[in-house]
Amino acid sequence: MTQQSEFSMSRLNDHQRCSHAVRVLGLAAIEQARSGHPGVVLGFADVLTVLWREHMRYDVTYPEWPARDRFVLSNGHASALYYAVLHCVGFDLSLDDLRQFRQLGSKTPGHPERDVQLGTDVTTGPLGQGLANAVGIAMAEHYLCHKTKTQKPQSAIQFHTYAAVGDGCLMEGISHEACSLAGRLGLGRLIVCWDDNDISIDGRVEQWAEKSVVGRFQSYGWQVIDGVDGHDPEAINHAITQAKSCQSQPSLICFKTRIGLGTDWEGTAQVHGKPLGEKRFSQYKQSVGWALDDFTLTDDVYGAWRQNVLASQRDAWSALSKQILDPYWADYFASYTDGLSENNHHILPSDWEDQWAAWLQDDSVVSNQPTATRHSSQSCLAALVEQMPSLIGGSADLAESTGVSLPSLGSWDPCGEPSQFIHFGVREFAMFAIANGLATCCGLRPFVSTFLVFSDYGINAVRMAALMNLPVIFIFSHDSVFVGEDGPTHQPIEHLAHLRSIPQLEVWRPADAQETAVAWKSVLERTDGPSCMVLTRQKLMPIDRGELIWQCYHGASRLDAYGSECHGLLIATGSEVNVAVQVQQRLAQEGLLLGVISMLCLERFLGASDAFKKSILTASGFRMIIEAGSSSCWYQLLQGVDGCVCGIDHFGTSGNGEAVYHLHGFSVDELCEKARQLHKQVALI
């Protein structure tokens, strides 16, 4: 793109025509929908016009070009402006698509939704998360830049990440978490453009916002470019150029703008989220000399928008990617030239199936001794990262506790090369959202970890991963009241049910080392959404499955040989499977025959074929579901059958883990008695 810092008169005229065009298109879309946010369309158009015309590197004929610049609209309510820009530069958004803004089934939803083909890398809307996503994207670029060095001076993957943020984004706590980490890591190709208009929905932000955003970001180690006139294209261009010249620090550019520019609502909260109305919109068009219909642009405006657009980068980038020095990454990126979509670019080792078969027999990977599943997971992860440099992640200051500590990898060094392992610090929300950003880039597979009870800190980012179909791996250990002495603040209760209620999220709670390995294999083979690994702190006994390990890949397995010839079924997950097996064995001595099901992943099981589900849920007797957590998600398995859920629907207490576990009803004695009573009730019917 053009790098000069001075605007000629012709460039200034082109800028004005282009910025007026996206303002009118954005406002027209809002008026058509009778819904939207006109204030930012008017106030931030100059910044996005300069950024996209003068600096952004992209190729509309090759939207998935791996080395393209990324843009994240963290203030996602500015979508009407963003769609207008994407249309003008030539992405597959037509004027009719703009007319359908916020309408059912359109390409232009109320907030941007991830679709790389349409120029949108990240779904945004919840304020601040897009900023954290951008930090993740910048981390991905930094990592891949080091891994894709070529025989030439430049790496095959090297780009800038731009994020647009508003006052609300910077008030959110996630902005502190993510940006303090970005400064510590020195992400020099991350540039944040702040729409500093002093207005939020409730009025002037001086009443509730911090006094010095500048000081805050300087303390993080950012370059801060303050006081830039967000309506002066030369000043905007100069500021972005200055930010790009700094390679050792991320940059925050403070663009002073006027919300609702050019209307009588300028500078007021009223224009934030209320359409202008026909009269005010007409007055605005008249004030800027707009003589065309609302959804009409002239060829010279399109020409001005696209004069700096790069020609097709496919051939040039393909040639550069073939010069990558590292053999793994050379092979990894060769698939892009074969037409593989970025959304599905997740490369497993060529001998994947053979490796897993060997690992299942390798006691150093899948132990046949009593082992906590967090440690079983750690053994799998240690083997995986050696084979998959695209597997990258870390922990929120709990690496050893959650089983993701991998000393052989080292850790991401702020002063040196990036690593597959990242110390995120105590930043759960940012960590989850950063992982989402990592997952949008070139098929990287991020994993992040904390205690299950702290999943609440970042649950909205888990939801966003599911909404974007991103294959992020969330590792949650210390999964029940068996945590014990730390007490109810650290004992998860409702968390499993909450996670299972999120659409497109799979929750895996393995019962032993073998199931943990199956969960890892299944999670890595899944590319259309996120997964959770829910793991124990306490040791679990290994379970003998014989040849039925294949069932686990469908989310559930039978651990008995009774088939339909039993009085009922015990359905359990994780640590409760061990307890269910003990209950089965004791009651069998009394002549009460019970099947045992390990429900490794409820979502995977419910999505399996009817034939498989019937083969698992065969018995005509009662069903007793056992899980040390909220019971609410399990009643769907009791429809039309007699049974009960043995769960925990109240907070725990501090004490010895096993004692607390038994106190809440998970002793073998108490569960045996419940099974006997259920059997009697069914027999009386």
Predicted confidence band of residue 523 (pLDDT cuts 50, 70, 90)? very high
Residue type, 619: A
Secondary structure in 3-state letters for 380-437? HHHHHHHHCCCEEEEECCCHHHHCCCCHHHCCCCCCCCCCCEEECCCCHHHHHHHHHH
pLDDT (average), residues 584-613? 98
Q: Which has the closest alpha carbon to 464: 118, 131, 161?
A: 131
The count of other CB atoms within 10 Å of the CB of residue 165 is 25
- What's at 19, amino acid-wise? S
Rounded to the nearest 10°, the torsion over CA 7, 8, 13, 16 is 10
Once rounded to an integer, what is the mean pLDDT over residues 610-639? 95
Q: Torsion angle of alpha carbons 265, 267, 269, 271, nearest 10°?
A: 40
Q: What is the pLDDT of residues 18-27, one digit of tens each?
A: 999 999 999 9
CATH architecture designation of domain 352-540: 3-Layer(aba) Sandwich (3.40)
Q: What is the mean pLDDT of residues 203-214?
A: 90
3-state secondary structure 349-378: CCCHHHHHHHHHCCCCCCCCCCEEHHHHHH
- pLDDT value at 547 more than 70: yes
Tell me the mean pLDDT in the region 364-371: 94
Closest CA to 309 of 56, 128, 504, 478: 56
When pLDDT is averaged across residues 165-172 and rounded to a whole number, the result is: 98
| Residue 648 DSSP label | -
Any idea which residue has 């050696």 for tokens? 386
Per-residue confidence (pLDDT) for residue 338, from 0 to 100: 57
Q: Is the pLDDT of residue 254 over 70?
A: yes
Over residues 436-469, the pLDDT tens digits come to 999 999 999 999 999 999 999 999 999 999 999 9
> What is the residue-averaged pLDDT of the chain?
95
Q: What confidence tier does 179 reach under pLDDT thresholds 50, 70, 90?
A: very high
Give the Cα separation of 115 and 469 in Å (integer): 11
User: Cβ(217)–Cβ(191) under 8 Å?
Assistant: no
| Helices 459-467 and 428-439, packing angle to 10 deg | 20
Query: DSSP class of residue 166?
Result: E
pLDDT for position 348: 87
Residue-level pLDDT at 620: 79
Grade residue 485 by pLDDT with cuts at 50, 70 and 90.
very high
pLDDT in tens, 272-315: 999 999 999 999 999 999 999 999 999 999 999 998 888 888 88
Confidence of residue 151 (pLDDT cuts 50, 70, 90): confident
Alpha-helix runs per DSSP H in 485-643: 495-500, 513-525, 549-552, 575-588, 602-606, 610-616
Which of 78-87, 142-151, 403-412 has the least mean pLDDT? 403-412
Q: 284 in helix, strand or coil? A: helix
* Tokens, residue 560: 């008995």
Every domain range in the chain assigned CATH 3.40.50.970: 9-306, 352-540
Of 681 and 160, which is predicted with more confidence?
Answer: 160
Q: Residues spanned by CATH 3.40.50.920 within the chain?
A: 554-684
One-letter amino acid of 195: D
Q: Do residues 359 and 383 make contact, with C-beta atoms less than 8 angstroms apart? A: yes
pLDDT, tens only, 572-594: 999 999 999 999 999 999 999 99
Contact 596, 543 (CB under 8 A): no
Quickly state the pLDDT bin for 545 (edges 50, 70, 90): confident
CATH placement of domain 9-306:
3.40.50.970
Q: In this predicted structure, what is the pLDDT of residue 339?
A: 54
pLDDT mean over 229-242: 98
Residue-wise burial string across 173-197, b where 16 or more C-beta atoms lie within 10 A, e elsewhere: ebbbbbbbbbbebbbbbbbbbbbbb
The secondary structure of residue 154, as a DSSP letter, is: S
Class of domain 554-684: alpha beta
Q: Which long-range contacts (CB under 8 A, 24 or more apart) does 267-270 make?
A: 267/197, 267/199, 268/199, 269/199, 269/200, 269/201, 269/202, 269/203, 269/204
pLDDT band at residue 346 under the 50/70/90 scheme: low
31-49 mean pLDDT: 99
Residue 407 has pLDDT above 90, yes or no: no
Mean pLDDT of 487-508: 99
Residue 1: per-residue pLDDT: 42
Give the confidence band of 408 by pLDDT, cuts at 50, 70, 90.
confident
Whether the CB-CB separation of 469 and 167 falls below 8 Å is answered with no
User: Could you give the residue numbers annotated as active site?
Assistant: 428
pLDDT value at position 2?
43
Given this model, what pLDDT does residue 341 score? 55
Determine which of 103-107, 353-357, 396-400, 499-503 has the lowest per-residue pLDDT on average. 353-357
Contacts of 15 (CB under 8 A, 6+ apart): 7, 46, 49, 50, 53, 233
